[in-house]
Structure 1
Amino acid sequence: MFENAFMEAASKLHPAVPVLLYVPLTVGLLGWGLYAGRTTVGASVLFVPLGLLTWILMEYSTHRYFFHWEGKGPLTRRVHEIAHGYHHKYPDDAQRLVMPLIVTVPLSSLIGGLLWLVGRPVQMLPYFVGIVWGYVAYDTLHWATHHRTPRTAWGKALRAHHMAHHFATPDRNFGISNRWVDILMGSGGRSSRHAGKEASVQEAPAREGSRESSGAKT
């Protein structure tokens, strides 16, 4: 992906790293917040799920509107290639299926810093933890979707949903850790453009048969 040796190495990451790094850190952060009185159990029960929901919306929006935006110039196309284009060209590159630390550490620090500036740690601390847990679940599920055979109906449906995005309709099925956002946003399944192509192919023999019948009558 990069000619620079450091950037090339920094763009690769073992899929276990997000779990091993961010789960202990966030569990420790939440535990410290509860012990020090910076947040409460009640606030955590409410705001951790809100953080998870926020991540799901961030995941969908980032994938649909940033990762699949190519722009019009060489710079924007290069950004697209680095951010997501490479993954669509080489979807089973096991070392590039999770976000590298060079991206997630600055981004999580920025989000955490902005939430801290809100000045309401009782709510914002568990909210931040929920966002990070949502990200870890997304990265883990994305890797498993590509490199593990699903054993449950839910896992098989999620894999089919994502593989359709890769190999059939890249303009649909943007949810990775879920499918319901695509249903909600009307971006699931096959697009009308692809459906139209399929209909044309299916109707072609019928049209040919119709023309032959007309010719025979004349």
Structure 2
Amino acid sequence: MRKGRSHDLGKMNLPQLWKAYLTYPTILLYFSIIIASAAATFWFWTSFWAAFLPMVAVILVFPVVWYVIHRWIMHGRWFYRNPLTAKMWKRIHWDHHQDPHKLEVLFGSPLHTVPTASSIALPLGYLMGGWSGAFSALGTAVSMACIYEFFHCLQHLNYKPKWDWVVYIVQLHILHHFHDEDGNFGITNYLLDRMLGTFYRTAKDRPRSKFVFNLGYNMEEAQRYPWVMRHTGAPPRHRPDPARVPHTPQFRNPQSRKAAKLGVG
């Protein structure tokens, strides 16, 4: 992994994704947490409702949590302006926008995702159903993270979706990565984008952002706040590798064709 790209979603098909996804260390860790959480739920079992209601609460609350994190933390510029948080900000999202098809930086680091999910799910579940509810909530939160990450992979995959809903969320996510990063923060759920004014359907709905690939961390910012650039070992890029830009002939996969139809680039 340290020697270069090992999983390039832009060159992978669906069977290859399944193989990579089901054997990826982060996902295997999530699976182990889900199994352990299920076991703990039954170990502390008191009633059906004590386990079930926290699951419903997590399903309702976590889309809000993910939206807040994506919009105000992952895209929050003040994180790269602080040497204590610059490395975290680089890993959790900047690397992904610099290279959207690299699987290793698409998945969130468990060092960030597991504590975040636990700090919200465990107290919420405990308040509703004791320890049984706490662990059922945690298992639900991590299960949702697995689903979220799989569809996020699909949105960058060399694959033409068959379901209209998947086509829809792929198109919206392409716009987020290749047209204007300040919108379409949802991955599978865009309700909050619609409610809070960050939703847009086509490239014609708003002008193209000059920060879509660097999230505002350009050379000018890197000179003032050098910590992300130091961790990267290279200057920030204002566009992906030329061979992978959606409107160039070299970038040939179903995602690029959809991007062209949307007017992205």
- Taking structure 1 as the reference length, what is the TM-score of the superposition? 0.69
Structure 2 distance, partners of 1:19, 1:39, is 30
> Which structure has the greater CA radius of gyration?
1
* Inter-partner Cα distance in structure 2 for 1:145 and 1:61: 21
Correspondences of 1:45-194 after superposition (within 5 Å): 45-71=52-78, 73=81, 75=83, 79-108=88-117, 110-111=119-120, 114=123, 120-147=130-157, 149=159, 150-189=161-200
Q: Counterpart of 1:176 in structure 2: which amino acid? A: I
- Paired residues, number: 187
TM-score by length of 2: 0.58
Task: Kindly indicate whether structure 1 or structure 2 has the higher relative contact order, using CA contacts under 8 Å at least 6 residues apart.
Answer: 1
Unaligned segments of structure 1, at least 5 residues: 198-218
Identity %: 23
CA contact (8 A) 2:52 2:133 kept: no
Structure 2 residues not aligned, in runs of 5+: 8-19, 209-265
Quote the Cα distance in structure 1 between the aligned partners of 2:105 and 2:182: 21
Q: 8 Å contact 1:174–1:182 — kept in the other structure?
A: yes
Please say if residues 173 and 179 of structure 1, whose CA atoms lie closer than 8 Å, have aligned partners that are also in contact: yes
Query: As a proportion of its length, which structure holds more helix?
Result: 1
**Per-residue deviation at 1:68?**
0.4
Relative to structure 1, the CA distance from residue 70 to residue 41 in structure 2 (aligned partners, 3 Å threshold; closer, same or farther) is: same
Q: Deviations over 1:77-119 (max 9, x none)?
A: 5543332111111101122211123333444555566568758
Q: Distance in 2 between matches of 1:128 and 1:187?
A: 29
Q: String of CA shifts for 1:152-197, please: whole Å, max 9, x gaps.
A: 0000001011111001111000001222221122210069x97368
Which has the larger displacement, 89-98 or 23-32?
Answer: 23-32
Equivalent positions of 1:3-42 (< 5 A) are 15-16=21-22, 17=24, 18-34=26-42, 36-42=43-49
Per-residue CA shift, 1:10-68, capped at 9, x if unaligned?
xx99643344332343244224423x353432333322122122221111110000000
Aligned partners of 1:56 and 1:134 also within 8 Å: no
Cα contact 2:117–2:141 (8 A) shared by 1: no
CA contact (8 A) 1:15 1:98 kept: no
Distance across 1 between alignment mates of 2:140 and 2:116: 15
Equivalent position of 1:201 in the other structure: none
